[in-house]
Each structure stands twice: as C-alpha cells, then as structure tokens.
Structure 1
C-alpha cells in the first residue's frame, strides 16, 4: 500500500511541478467491414506546436512511428501495411532528406481478417514527437482494440465506428499528400528527360519523317493534324502503360519499401552503369528485331489501330536511345513509390509527343530544325556521363545502410570530380568516344556547356576537405560519414584545446566530431573522470534523431567562446535517450515510472534518469552539476542564442569554482 501511495504521489509531483510533457494522446476505434474483416484505427491527438513523425522515415532520419499488433494466439491475419492519415512533407535541412510528419491529428488504419473469434486485439505504438525547440525521446504506448463479444463475430463493436467512406477519403488524401511534392519534381525531371531523348540519333530524325508521312497521306490538312495528334496520344498511352505496369507489378507500398533496401539500390546502381556505358558507346541496348517487324506490319492496317502501332514501332526502334533514359526514370520514380512511375512516364512521353503534334499542325516549322549530325551523339554521351554520376547515388545509399564505409564522402566526391572532369574534357574535344564524328571546331554552345561543367567540377574540389557543397547536398553522404569528419581546420575551432590537448583519452571517452570535444556516453564513467580532474559535469541529454540537438551542435557549439568552455572547463557527458542498444543483463531494472515494465535499452535508462531527477523529458536538455550531483545552475533546453548559452555555461563554471 505504501508503495502504491508513493507511486501516486511521485506521479502527481511530476505532473504538477515538472516539465514532463505528453503532447500526444492516443485513442483507438474499430470499423467492421464484414463478419471477419475489420479496420483497427489508431488516432493520435497532437497538441498545438508539436509534430509526430510518419511511419516511412528514410534511413538516417528521426525515429518513425511504428505499430506492432499482438497476434501471438494467431487469431487474425494482417492485410498490408498500416495506412496513414494526411501529413506534411518537408525537406529537412538538418537530416538533408524529405521527412513527413503530422500536426493536430493523425489517423492510422490497419486492415485485418479474423481467423477465429476474439474480443480484443492488443498492440503497441512507438513514436517520437518534436516542436520547434525540443524533441521527446521515443515513447511506447499500449493500444487496445475492442472488437465486441468473443462468442460471435457478428456482434457489433463496442468502440467508435468510423464510416468506410471517411476512411477511404483519408487514405486517398494521405497518398496525395505524401507524394504531391515528389510527383511534381518527378514530372518536371521526366519532362526534361523527354526533350533530351528527342535530341538523340534514334528519335530526332524521326520527327520530319513522321510528320511528312501524316501530312502527305492525309487528304486534308485537318486530317493530317488529327492523325498526328492521335499518334502523339498513342505515344503517351504506351509509356504510361509501362509506368502503370511497374506500379501494378511491384505495388505502390512495395516500391516505397524497396527505396531503402540494400539490394534494390545495388541492382539499380548496376543497371544505371549499364545504361551509361550504352550511351557512351560501349554497346547498344536493342529489343529483338522480330518485335519491330511484327509491330511494323500492324502499322499498315490504317485507322486508329494502325496509328497506335506506328507509335509502338517508334518506341521499339528508338529503344537503344530512349531505353536508358526510361530505365533511369523508372529507377528514380520507383524509389519515390506510389504513382511516381506513372507520372514519370506521362511527363517523358508528353515531351516526346508534343513536337509531332505541333510540327504536324505547323509544317513550316520543320525548316527551323537543325540538321542531324554528330551533335546528336554528343547529347547521348552527355546523358551517359550524367547517368554514371547518378548511379553512385544508389551505391552510396546501400553503403550508408550497411555502414561499410567503403563509399565515404571523400570517395564519392572524388568519383564525381572524375566523372564531370572527364565530361568537361569531352566537351572541349580532348576525349573522343567510339561513335563521335571528327571535331574540327567547338561551337559556342558546346564551349559554354563545357565551361559550366568545368566550373561545377572545380566547385566540388573543396568538398574533399570538408566543404559542405550545398548545391549537391542531397547526393553525397553526410559530412560525418567521411574519412576526415573534422574537415579543414575544424579541429582547431575556437581558442584552446584540440584533440591533442586531451592527451591520451581516458577509458570510456571519445572525441565528438567535428568539434573535437572529449565526451563520455556513460554517466558514472564521466562523473568519475570529472572528480579526478576537478571539473564540473555538463549533462547533455540528446538523441540521435533529435533535430534541435543537431542545430545546437552545428550552430551554437562552434562559437569560439562556447567551444573553449566545452573543451577545457567542463566534462561533457552525452546521454542518448533514443539509443536502441540493449542493456547488459545485470543492468536491466524495473521502470520507476511504469511499474511492471523493465528498462531494456540504454536510451530508456537515460530517459528515465532525466525524467525522475530533472523532471523533464524533452531534448536537448543541458544540466551542469558538481561532484555531489547537485545542479550548479538551472538547466536549459534548446537555446539557439549564442551569448545566452555562453553566459549560462560561464555561470555554471563560476558557481563550481566558488564551492
């Protein structure tokens, strides 16, 4: 009884006098579809100013929302993935990736089929929330879904029922919201790629030939224009069907999951390298001649069917030029998931189809077209270099996931410098490839493009020594994933210590890149060292996926005055509340905040320490303590103002000296 009373008093004191935050409340409901089919609905009610992360956060990003449904008794089967409600997708500058999150309210729906009668299904949701100044550690909440009377599957559910039409509408809005930004970029890139494909040797000469055919074979000009438009529409239909087939075969959710799969990225790296070598002239990728002959024979039938087969013949005959571009677009759009392959093929085919319709309507424009020649092969070669560079993006993603450190930032940038440097030499006529025509002079356009590529190559060179390269930040690995994470002179930021200033690092300590600050990740080890050297302790409650923690480390800590204190005047102990490594068996203890549950992970240990001792559960959270573990100054959270943060540090250090 005393234990229960103490627990109640403890919880009351935390809620009444502390900074314990619970910005997300979860409710559950059930929608009955049939006697055996149900939707399990989890709704997150999010306080104003806070946001909850999506289930599909890319690797290296914040902690995603995760649902686990207890099916230990095998009472049901799970159909597909948990659907999400409407959210917001933004390009996060800290994680350098697109991240989706929710505000206000978020709905998650999981469809199941019962195999035997059951009244209740239990689940767990793990999630992470942040506002503009802080993040909370990953939290687990138990979920309970009441299906009704266990004796009969047909019994009405006891919990709130949401109409099926509303659910479908929410799911549809979700898919549109997640993909809208990415789909527009895919369409734009695909549209430009279609124009690039027009300028290849396989497609460009077909424009006057095809337009002339329609204008001569048609009895009137209007009929010629009509047939050319139908021809263009047929081209669009053919490529859109290809995109639809890719989406239909793999499935939208499967494509999205494949985007972070190691083998997906490795296979696509190989494919893009093959496409690139094809464009560079090593070989040609062609479809069987029998296909073209059979399709061409159908084109003679006339009418709408004949026009459609003429468009199909163009797609097959020009495959050696368009195939690598189409393949690259499908690779890139497949990594986005959803309807991206369809949108990509629509943008690509629209760019190809437009000239045929326009030149048929205005045949006089044909006279303004440049003549076919060696410049068409130059376009192919330039595209080949671009595809080769893009290929290493996929290989880099696989290396990051596996943490092999084979394709680190410097290696990636060096490869890109070599590729674009070779492209610049090619444009200047210093390199010739198999299908190039003799180059007697360099045109102004080719010279201008060569200068742009050369400038870009020179721009990338400082990246070998730690320059951020903001123009291409989405492509190479992050700064910390490199051979020299400190970059040029980074270890000498600020006055005072550097790596050598610490001498041999004590046991349990490491240097925190890129600022060269000695830090501990264990509370007891760091405290013991602080007592030994006679310095106060600065506890840094942080998280691997804490955006504002990274902002403090990137924008505030590099200040010379702040950095000097962190290196020389305090002992830094960084405690990661989202550390998913398991505790040693002898360290596993029962949670004081949730009696009956055990602390299994290192992060749970530090999160509970922060909550119980300092009555706060948000990160970043900084505390300066003495050797008796008493606070020397009131703790602070996210404090981006450098003078204020420095003054706080100085106050803590001065109070320690006065003791």
Structure 2
C-alpha cells in the first residue's frame, strides 16, 4: 500500500499546486475603447527572473532582435501611428558590444487603431520577440494574438457595460437555437446592444473581491463543521492513544509546572501552524478562482468520490493507509532535540502518525471548503486543528486529567467504522456534484436518497451489534453511547424516507441533489406550492428550482423583463454549490418567497461552473480571474467578479433594465426567510420608483 499511501498524501497536501511549465515571458492582451471610434490594443509582458525583453525601437540587424508587432490587413480597421512602449532601460551590453534598450520584469506596448466597421470584428496577427540573460539568449519567439473588437453602437438608451459579445447560453445547451421570447423582444434585443467598458480603472482585481454578510454566516457554519470534524478525528484509534504518549513526553521535558504549561501551549500552537500553514500554501498558490473551480470540477469530484470510497473501506478494516515509516522516524528523531524545535517536530510526528485517520477527514473538509476561495480552507482547517490541539494542550498542561479519560479499547474501532459509513455517504455527494455539472441524469435525487437510506440502515444494525467487521472486538452487550448513536442513525434514516416521494428534507438541503433533479416532472414535490402556469420561450423550468421560469441566458432574460416590466433577480449559482441548494430548499421553498419569484421578478440564474465550452473565437484571458475564459461558467464567474466584486455563490442581485447597478444591497447566503422577503420587497419598491421611459 506504500504507493497508494504516498499518492493519497501528496494529493491532499499538494492539490492545486501543480503548475504547467512557464516560459520566461508571458503575454496578456487587453482592449481600451476610446472616443471617436478608436481603440487601444494593449500588449503586456511579464518577464521572469533576470531575463531581458528588448525594445521595439532597436535597429534591426545590429544586435538583439527587437520586439515587433505584425497585423493582418483588414478593411475593418486601420492602424493609427506606431506601437508605443513604456520606459525601457538603456545600458551597454558587452555580449552585443553595443548600447541596448530592454525591459526587465514587465513591459507594455500599445497600438491605437481606428474602427472602420460598425459590426464586431477580429484584429489579429503575431508579435515576435527575443529574450536574453547575462549568460545566454533564447531563439526568437512568435506569439499569435487576436482581439475580439465590438464597436460601440449608437446610444439610443443607456447601454449595459458587458465587455464581450452577449453569450447565447440557451443555444449552447439546446440542440436547436431558441426562438425569441415575444415579437417585441426582437426590437428590445436590438436596443440592448452591449458596449465594452471604457474605463480600465473600474475593473475589479482578485484582491478586491469582497466578503458579504451571508458569506460570513456560511464561514461560521464551516468553522463549526470543521471543529466537529476535529473532535471526531480525536476519537479515532490513530489519535486517541497519542494523548498519554504526549503527556509522558512533556512530563519528562518540563522541569516545573510553569514550563509544562508553556510547552503545552507551544505544542498546541504548533499543531495549528502545521495544518493551517500547509493549507495556506496550497490556497495561495492556486488562488481563489482556482479553488472554486477545483471544488466544482467534475473530474476532481470523481477522483474524490473514488478516494473517499477507498478511505471508507480502509476504515471498515480491509486495509490500513499509512505514510512511509521513514517519514515518521525522521520526525520522531527530530522531536528528541527538545526546546521549541523539538516540540514542533513532536506535533509533526502526531500529524504523520495520525494521517490514516485524519487524512480522509481533512481531505473531505478541505474539498468542501474550496468553494469559499482562499478564506474557506483556512477557516475550515483552523476549526479542525483547534479541535485537535485543545485536548492535547490541556492534557499536556494538566497530566492529572488523564485519569478521567476512558481506556482505549474496541470502542475506538467502532468510532472509526462509524466514520467509515459517514465517509461512504459523503462520497456520493461528490459523485452527485460531478453528475450535476455534467447534467448526465445518473444520480437523480431519488437514487441518492435511496443510497443514503441503505447506508443508514447498515450503520444502525452495525451499532446494534447484528454483525462485526474485521477489527471489532467481541462484545456481549451494547453500551449506552452506542445505543444512543443507533437511535440517532435510525431516526435520521427514517427522516430520509419521505424524500423518495418529494419531501424537501431541509435538514440536509445542499447535500442532496436539488428537488428539480428528479424523475418527477419539473421536479415538483408533493409539498410544492407552485406550478408553472405558462410556458415562456427561452426559460428553463426543467432545470430551475421548484419549476420556476428562470433564464440561463442574460440577454433573453433582460429582453423578457423589459416586455413584462419586472425587475431582474440575478442568481449567481453553481451546479455543485451546496449553499445554493440550501437557499433554494430552505428559503425559496417558502410560499411567499416562491410567489414573488414567480410573479414579481424575472429570474436569471447564471451557473459559474457550467462546462459548456465557448467558441474558440470568443475565448479570452481574464485579468480579473487570472485565467483564460474557456466556457460559459468562466464567463459568468468573471461577469460576477467584474461588476459586483465577489466570486462566491450564492449571490443575489436585483437590477433594473438600464444598467447593472444593484437597486439595493445584494444578498448572499442567508437562511432568514423574513430578511430575504424584506430584501425582495425593497428591490421591488426601488424598481417601481425608477423614472419611466
């Protein structure tokens, strides 16, 4: 199992860190739209290490190759002047025996053009450059560039600031393009031709993404969940027996009580530094957008499904997952040094020795927290490590408390088996996420609930002693604690059964597939207070909560909103977003909220993890997200970050028809139904007070 053990450890510790090979120079392209039908094409180079990129003004043939830009001829535009560049360094280069002008670290070049066409067009060509350092030069390199240019349209009314061509989301998902909403929407679409942003300074960077009150509430729940995960890990056979060993270590190392308490505090802090530090490194290297994409990537979810099944089988006693013994021995030897360094390595030894029990729990917590960007994993791992550190710190500081601990025994293995059942149930959560993102219809809501019911029954009869697993000890009677767990398990299993016939199961909302993802028509349940009264062209009730007529295409939703004169409720969501499902099943299911969503708003649900690829000619690099926009989900994620300064879901914004400015403060994850209703009422009131055109 050494190969598996090492692979699992590296996956958990290094997930998100893998990076592709980077050349010394990377290029970014951007468009600045100016007045008088002019635009500025911006070429930005990032230069690594001590490499030099040479100026475009160097004479050709007398030294290093200058940076040059070659545009394909086109009747749609013409160049205005020559390429302008930033301030270059100028010094004598002994390698070329001449004075050269070059850029280090970064360089920027700008080419102004005049747009001759009123229709969207492409300006493309290639640039050529050469880089050298003090020892060597690389061969000249050519890079193709392509700018998707959308000339500004006559402004008959205020235009929405969307930087690319509107994306026909519905057409990308359907086999045939949808018809227009109503005849009037044709003229409405023409009126709403979208122009790019002109002010570059208004762009939102990743560092500016904000945290809303709803996110704080979600992070609180994540902290509590992670803290409970740490307590569960504490009661496993890999961790619990380490408590007396730790107390023995500190008893020998400490000369008096004060030193013992001081060493215990350092030990507890070291545990937290280890877990949180590794997590911080992973998240900082990957970035918040990558963390969110990681958590909703179907292939990653499938991999976690397989890993959790393996972990569950290990917890059941089929095999043991351990790290290479050499790692543990080295850490243990380092802990014998004493002092702060010795205490730190004692904590490191604990992390390595307990990995077979804590690894699956850590992996699950981290994956659940990835959708929270950088903050989510840090908050989750702080909760986990704090729960793990507090008992060790207290018992190391007060050794006499050991007498109050229960003795190690077969109950520890029972705890591990119970965690195995929990891991197995959570594994299907990851399989469900992959299924939802792909919309493959394999793990529908009824099937998911049925699997959980089966797991609950098996756990209940295990706790009641009807069967034993390989490492279980013989027991003629069942303890009170075990009996209480059996009661809880049976009660939870019985609670799940009505879900097979459409009960909302609000207690676990977000974990199960949404209520519309079902064999029942439009996902209607027996408790639903809503029925679709009319078919609206371009809406998707089959993939919207409670059968609502929601749009997945912004332009069609906007056009329909103008026809019916209703405010727009933008719903930034995701197929794999747990908190989105909780809001839909706990808040949107309320008859009052549901009535407003149906009658008072035009709902536009934009899925940031939608995998439908964009046409190649519409793909581009986003400075905001720090990645290439390749699919519909990437596009909506950038749309949200650019205009609303956040990349978390769920996120709700009420807007009018003229621009993207929120009519009131946007709402995030908040299961307070009364507060949500008040927010909706405020948005409706603000919309009605807008001046009529």
TM norm. shorter chain > 0.5: yes
Contact 1:409 1:481 in 2 (8 A): yes
- What's the counterpart of residue 455 of structure 1? 491
**Residue matched to 1:332:** 368
Q: Residues 257-309 of structure 1: CA distance to partner in whole angstroms, max 9, x if unpaired?
A: 22222112111111221222221212111110011111111111111111111
Match for residue 507 of structure 2? 471
1:638 matches 2:611: no
- 1:205 is aligned, of 232, 238, 241, to 241
Displacement after TM superposition at 1:343 (Å): 2.0
Structure-2 separation of matches of 1:181 and 1:308: 33
User: How far did residue 466 of structure 1 move?
Assistant: 2.1
Distance (whole Å) between structure 1 residues aligned to residue 380 and residue 489 of structure 2:
26
CA spacing shift, 1:75–1:489, aligned 2, 3 Å = closer
Q: Is the 8 A contact 2:276 2:382 kept in 1?
A: yes
From the superposition, tell whether residues 126 and 189 of structure 1 become closer, same or farther in structure 2 (CA, over 3 Å). Answer: farther
Pair 1:241 & 2:277 matched: yes
2:228 to 157, 178, 192: 192
Give the match for residue 616 of structure 1: 565
Whether 1:264 aligns to 2:277 is: no
What is the CA–CA distance in structure 2 between the aligned matches of 1:238 and 1:460, rounded to whole Å?
39
Q: Name the counterpart of 2:250.
A: 214
Deviations 1:533-571 (A, max 9, x none): xxxxx8554874799x967x68xxxxxxxxxxxxxxxxx
Distance in 2, matches of 1:474 and 1:181, equals 15
Residues 247/177 of structure 1: CA separation in 2 closer, same or farther (3 Å cut): farther
Q: Residues 551-570 of structure 1: matches in 2 within 5 Å? A: none
Change (3 A) 1:176 1:297: farther
User: How far apart are the structure 2 equivalents of 1:218 and 1:309?
Assistant: 16
Match of 1:181 in 2: 217
* Superposed CA offset, 1:496-555 (max 9, x none): xxxxxxxxxxxxxxxxx998x8x9xxxxxxxxxxxxxxxxxx8554874799x967x68x
The count of corresponding residues between Structure 1 and Structure 2 is: 418
**Given the superposition, is the C-alpha separation of residues 539 and 246 from structure 1 closer, same or farther in structure 2, using an over 3 Å criterion?**
same
Contact 2:284 2:374 in 1 (8 A): no
Distance 1:327 1:269, change over 3 A: same
| 1:381 maps to 2:417 | yes
> 2:558 & 2:262 partners in 1: Cα distance?
69
The answer (yes or no) to whether the contact 2:31–2:42 under 8 Å persists in 1 is no
Aligned equivalents of 2:559, 2:352: Cα separation in 1: 64
Is the 2:239–2:354 Cα contact (8 Å) retained in structure 1?
A: yes
Following superposition, the deviation at residue 356 of structure 1 comes to 2.0
Residue 194 of structure 2 corresponds to residue 142 of structure 1? yes
Q: Give the superposed CA RMSD.
A: 4.2
SS of the equivalent of 2:194 reads: strand
SS of 1:462 mapped into structure 2: helix
Q: TM-score, normalised to structure 2's length?
A: 0.53
Cα contact 1:389–1:416 (8 A) shared by 2: yes
Task: Please state whether the residue corresponding to 2:477 is helix, strand or coil.
Answer: coil
- Kept after mapping to 2: 8 A contact 1:229/1:357: yes
1:126-165 correspondence runs (5 A):
142-146=194-198
> Structure 1's 577 and 191: CA in aligned 2 closer, same or farther, altered over 3 A?
closer
Distance 1:228 1:117, change over 3 A: same
1:231–1:638 distance in 2 versus 1, CA, 3 Å: same
Residues 577 and 343 from structure 1, CA distance in 2 versus in 1: closer, same or farther, beyond 3 angstroms? closer
Q: Is the 8 A contact 2:299 2:434 kept in 1?
A: yes
Gaps of 5+ in 1: 1-35, 42-70, 80-111, 129-136, 147-158, 494-512, 520-537, 555-575, 581-600, 621-635, 641-659
Unaligned runs of 5+ in 2: 1-27, 47-105, 115-148, 151-162, 169-184, 570-596, 602-693
C-alpha displacement of 1:407: 0.6
- Aligned with residue 347 of structure 1, among 364, 383, 386: 383
Q: Which residue of 1 aligns with 2:629?
A: none
Find the partner of 1:307 among 334, 340, 343: 343
- Does the 8 A contact of 2:332 with 2:345 survive in 1? yes
> What is residue 578 of structure 1 aligned with on the other side?
551
